[in-house]
């Protein structure tokens, strides 16, 4: 299974720019399928970005975050070759994690 997480983390000297894309349906629970049945809510609730054992960003998401969610931020420090670990957990208890190298 290929990872559901894509990360681009680029060190710029004093900080690291991070962009991530996660493959997830982010079903809001308000949309009906073609048979008129409500598709149950299925969305990511938290995403954490861990750099050297420190959570640099925690995202709390509701069902209004778009399908295949995207996030962009920057944290202080970070050097080329360092690890950045991204983990998400959804409302059904599913989870995925990926460790990417900072470039």
Partner 1 sequence: MHAALSSNETTRRATLRLLALLGVAGLAGTARADAPGWPEQAFHQKTPDEALKLLYGKSFEMSDKVTLDVPEIAENGAVVPVSVSSSLPGVTSISILVPENPFALAASYKFAEGTAASIGCRLKMAKTSKVIGIVESGGKLYGASKEVKVTLGGCGG
Partner 2 sequence: MSIRRTAPWLIAVAAVCLLGGAAPEPAATPEADQKAFQAYFKDRFPQVPFADFANGPYAVNAPMRKQWEDIMQFPPYDFALDEGKTAFETPFANGKSYADCFANKGIGVRQTFPYFDTKTGEVVTLDLAINQCRTANGEKPLPYQTGMMASITAYMAETSRDKPFDIKIPDDPRATAAYEDGKKFFYARRGQLNFSCASCHAGAAGQRMRGDILAPALGILASFPIYRSDWGSMGTIDRRFTSCSLQMRAAPLPPQDVQYRDLEYFLSYMSNGVPISGPGTRP
Task: Classify each residue of 3-41 as buried b or exposed e, where b means 16 or more C-beta atoms within 10 Å of its C-beta.
Answer: ebbbbebebeeeebebebebebebbbeeeeeeeeeeeeb
Is the CB of residue 27 less than 8 Å from the CB of residue 37?
A: no
Instruction: Please report whether residue 94 would count as binding partner 2 according to CB under 8 A.
Output: no
Binding site for partner 1 (CB under 8 A): 15, 26, 28, 30-32, 38, 45-46, 54-67, 69-77, 89-93
Q: Which does 57 bind (CB under 5 to 8 A by kind): partner 1, partner 2, none?
A: partner 1
Q: Which does 96 bind (CB under 5 to 8 A by kind): partner 1, partner 2, none?
A: none
Pairing verdict, β 5-11 and 95-101: unpaired
Nearer CB in complex with partner 1: 2/93:
93
Give the integer Cα–Cα distance in Å for 60 and 50.
15
Least distance to partner 1, CB of residue 10, Å: 14
User: Footprint of partner 2 on this chain (CB under 8 A)?
Assistant: 2, 6, 8, 19-21, 23, 66-68, 70, 72
């Amino acid at each position: 299974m290929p990872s559901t997480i894509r990360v681009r983390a680029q060190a710029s000297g004093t900080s690291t720019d991070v962009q991530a894309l996660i493959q997830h349906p982010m079903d809001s629970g308000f949309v009906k399928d073609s048979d008129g049945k409500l598709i149950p809510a299925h969305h990511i609730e938290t995403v954490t970005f861990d750099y050297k054992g420190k959570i640099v960003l925690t995202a709390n998401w509701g069902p209004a975050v778009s399908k295949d969610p995207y996030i962009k931020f920057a944290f202080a420090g970070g050097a080329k070759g360092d690890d950045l670990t991204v983990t998400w957990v959804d409302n059904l208890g599913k989870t995925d994690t990926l460790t990417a190298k900072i470039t």
